[in-house]
Structure 1
Amino acid sequence: MAYQSITDQQLRLYMTDLKNHSQCTSAARAGFSERTARRFDADPTPPSQRKIVHGRTVSDPLEGYWENDILPVLENDNALQAVTLLRHLQGLHPLAFPDDRIRRTLERRVRQWRALKGPERDIIFRQTPEPGYMAQSDFTHAAELEVTIAGALFPHLLYHFAMVYSRWEHVGVVLGGESFTALAENLQQALWALGGVPQNHRTDSLSAAFRNLTRDECEDITKRYEAFVGHYGMDASRNNRGEAHENGAVESQNRHLKKAIAQALILRGSRDFASVAEYRRFIDMLVARRNRQRMEAVEVEQLHLKPLPPRRTTDYTEVIVPVTRMGGFRVKSIFYSAPSQLIGQRLRIHLYDDRLDAFLGSTLVATHPRGRGRNDGHRVHVINYHHVIHALKRKPQALWSSIYRDGLFPRTEYAQAWEVLQHSLPRRDACRRMVALLFIAHDQACEAELARLLADDLGSGLIPDPKTLATQLTPKHAVLPKDVVVSHPSLDSFDALLEVRA
């Protein structure tokens, strides 16, 4: 309760009641405490005639120390905390300040000094959003969601696009870091999903896209980003470094988005997904539900958006690589396989966040999921066994010591079969059986069905035998119709077409 001064009328009421009631009752009837009543008993001077003295009732514990020891240090660097200044005092005067008894006093004194004589502080100017004017993009870490893919923890980022006026949003799952490729690919998807282009696109400093790059590479990425926004006719802007509130529309939605995803995962009953594609569908459905609540504002905003260009622009990184005698090519220290016919050719690689496409001229010749480097220093190989199986069939013993052997197996059942074969059979026989299994999966296009048969054999404790398993596969017979009836139209019917044309 706020303090209220005692009036002369209250004092007169108290004095009158004191003749017939106790001190406690009289004070209560007058509207003040018993302690105040005792003070009036000692000095019955009316409040209007009392001289109010404002001042300290106890001695200042910082007298002499504030001006000599604290103020010079605080003026030199005003970022010092009160507890740091207290430790400074205790180091200089251990006998005067043996404990933390004056901590609250020192905190109040420092807070008052900053309010009266401290430096100017920044002010946040709230803005009135304009429909169709600004969109903001940001990347946010999603480790707290604890999502797993096929039982393995799935480290990833979420790209978040938000329109400032309508709060319409688009979310993309990013497998790598905050790269230009991830930004361009997801931003382009957001614009085409929105159906229009805002006037301004704001991001943070995009420092992640420039990290560990040479100066020429940094300038190249800057030019590519300017070309990207120029293709869509947007102005590019960035918030000041360290001023996250300038990107507040998307920064604030990051927290709400991840909270909504966490709640949806609880309702789902599991944080595990069979594949990244399934997890992406889950995110897309959630974001679509959130956007349906903003449709009225979105309709207003779409009236002010600029039209989309006739076509999309480049949203990938392009590199040129040679295909080596190893049967593949290397991109960002990751080895990818290629069809053996391409050895000696130079391929044009379109590098996306989650995949890469290899082109010979304008022909797509290979597609791979994008590999990521490991922290333990081991090289990563991304191998499609279809590319190497014919060469491996001629040299099955090469499987034993191949540096990318573990990347050959398309499913876990094949890797488990190899573990059994190499421990149960001599090296020669183990390699021949494993290569035969991979060739059957390739030649008969029965990778999934053969994997189920391998799982059954391994569960029964049997050593996989390619010949036996081949007889268990479902034969793929083409069923042809017995009688094919072909009706020939009358030639006179074509005259009708000529008449319509005339």
Structure 2
Amino acid sequence: MSGRHVTDHQMRLFMKYRSTDTTRVAAAKAGFSTATGYRLGEDPRPPSLKRAPRDRRRPDPLAGIFDTEVVPMLEAAPGLRSVAVLGEVLRRHPELGEGIRRTLERRISHWRALYGAEREVIFRQVQEPGRMGLSDFTDMADLGVTVAGQPLIHRLYHFRLAYSGFEHVHVVLGGESFVALAEGLQNALWVLGGAPREHRSDSLSAAFRNLERDADTDWTLRYEALCTHYAMTPSRDNRGVAHENGAIEGPHGHLKRAIADALLLRGTPDFGDLAAYRKFLDEFCGRRNAHNRKRIDAERAVLRPLPARRTTDGEETHVTVTSSDGFILRRVFYTVPSRLIGHRLRVQLHDDRLDLYLGATHLLTLERGRGYGDGKRGHIVDYHHVIHALRRKPMTLPGLVYRDQLFPRDAYRQLYDAAIVALPQKAACKLTVDILALAHDRGCEAELATLIAELLAEGALPDMAALRERFSPDPANLPNITVLISPLSDYNALLAALPTGEAA
């Protein structure tokens, strides 16, 4: 058509149709005249190659500057950003102005394509079923998850099969430790029902000691022993090269965004307790895995069988209970029943708990605490363990190093603060200890805390006599119940009254 330029696309259409149609028909189908078709038939080059190069329409602002000043910068520092080069050029030649930015960026990009350093190449891999499982940790602070209204500072251990996309997550309350890795990995393998031939992680400090070297514990050997137990070959990517672990690094972002969406659909990121949050994540992963059920089932069929039992997923150590009715482990003080003072206990240290053993006998499980920075100690205190001693020594309360952690609920701490202000110190300590003892003896900790909060809101302190009467009966004054036991001769009389043959 007159007045319009023929495009490369029209040219390709014309050459295609001309192989089967006449020049007139092919030109009509391509959208131009027959004369143009004959002309293009004599020179089959695309129109874009026939145009003469366009000359510059304005002077080159970088003439005499790019080759003499910019190129030496790029050769001396290959990683230098274009915006830094722009700043240096404007510092030397302020008359050029900010308008040269796009020109400079295009010129630098073109120079690097021709003369720049070789760039890293990513080699795509063919994934085989049953070959590789991957592990990594990801921080969850940006999702704003809370437990009972308090922010939950945690990470997620993330396990994934490269072929089928099977996923499993485990809440980690501490850092990237071997304990968290071992527990999360074993949980994933036992949920999966098999083990891949190879397990890959990035350069975790938990497994490869890139950050710290502990002279007492060789993390690497422990990690290799864990993989050997499940007949997996341990491997890792090169330090600082995250894309080598891309089969799990990429899904991290998708996982966190999907969890954020699930929390929005749930209506709140707050959970009643940690167990509820873990259940939420287990159900979430179950739904995601259901979408890949066929691939997961196909891969599960070629996984290696699991061993007869799990290996230890905690770190084992020994502690001695001191006269302070507790022990210190990893800068945290834990209380235990006072009858264990002087005993040496075996401790299985997990990410979220401590299992205590006396010999082979399991004693109790404690919540794991975390030490504070600058060498300060944390405290995990159960008032049930020390209340019997506090009854005899209530005046130890003001200077007790773990006084704030002693109170099981905030209402008891507020009671102590109010009593110290309103009463003499001795009376305030005795009132606080008596109320803690009442909560221990009568099993009314929650109800008593609610009542104390109501009294403090009214500006009054609790009356111990009224509290003891309200939360009666007193275990010391329980009624004696006499059980009468009939003599055996009464049973003989009953047997004699039965018809013959029915005694059996």
TM-score per shorter chain, which class?
Answer: 0.7 to 0.9
SS in 2 for 1:467: helix
2:406 match: 408
Map 1:101-116 → 2, pairs under 5 A: 101-116=99-114
The Cα shift of 1:280 comes to 1.5
Cα distance in 1 for partners of 2:145, 2:380 equals 23
1:356 match: 354
Cα distance in 2 for partners of 1:481, 1:166 equals 67
Map 1:42-441 → 2, pairs under 5 A: 52=52, 55-95=55-95, 97=96, 99-207=97-205, 210=209, 213-217=212-216, 220-375=218-373, 378-441=376-439
**Contact 2:204/2:210 (8 A) holds in 1:** no
SS in 1 for 2:157: strand
Cα distance in 2 for partners of 1:193, 1:248 equals 23
SS in 2 for 1:224: helix
**Contact 2:145/2:270 (8 A) holds in 1:** yes
What do the CA deviations read for 1:169-196 (whole angstroms, capped 9, x no partner)?
Answer: 1111111111111111111111111111
The Cα shift of 1:360 comes to 2.3
Cα distance in 1 for partners of 2:170, 2:163 equals 21
Cα distance in 1 for partners of 2:369, 2:249 equals 30
2:460 match: 462
The Cα shift of 1:212 comes to 5.6
What do the CA deviations read for 1:238-283 (whole angstroms, capped 9, x no partner)?
Answer: 1222322222222222222222221222222222222222221222
The Cα shift of 1:211 comes to 6.3
* % identical equivalent positions: 48
**Contact 2:157/2:184 (8 A) holds in 1:** yes
The AA in structure 1 aligned to 2:404 is: D
The Cα shift of 1:394 comes to 1.3
The AA in structure 2 aligned to 1:365 is: L
Q: 1:196 to 1:466 in 2, by over 3 A?
A: farther
What do the CA deviations read for 1:469-490 (whole angstroms, capped 9, x no partner)?
Answer: 23222659999999999999xx
Aligned length: 448
Cα distance in 2 for partners of 1:51, 1:139 equals 57
The Cα shift of 1:55 comes to 4.6
**Contact 1:449/1:473 (8 A) holds in 2:** no
1:41 match: none
Deviates more, 1:423-432 or 1:448-457: 448-457
The AA in structure 2 aligned to 1:67 is: D
Gaps of 5+ in 2: 9-30, 33-46, 496-500
Cα distance in 1 for partners of 2:297, 2:484 equals 58
The AA in structure 2 aligned to 1:63 is: A
The AA in structure 1 aligned to 2:66 is: W
Gaps of 5+ in 1: 8-29, 32-46, 496-502
Q: 1:62 to 1:5 in 2, by over 3 A?
A: farther
Q: 1:280 to 1:480 in 2, by over 3 A?
A: farther
CA-based RMSD of the aligned residues comes to: 3.3
What do the CA deviations read for 1:338-383 (whole angstroms, capped 9, x no partner)?
Answer: 2222222222221111111222222233432111123476532111
**Contact 1:453/1:469 (8 A) holds in 2:** no
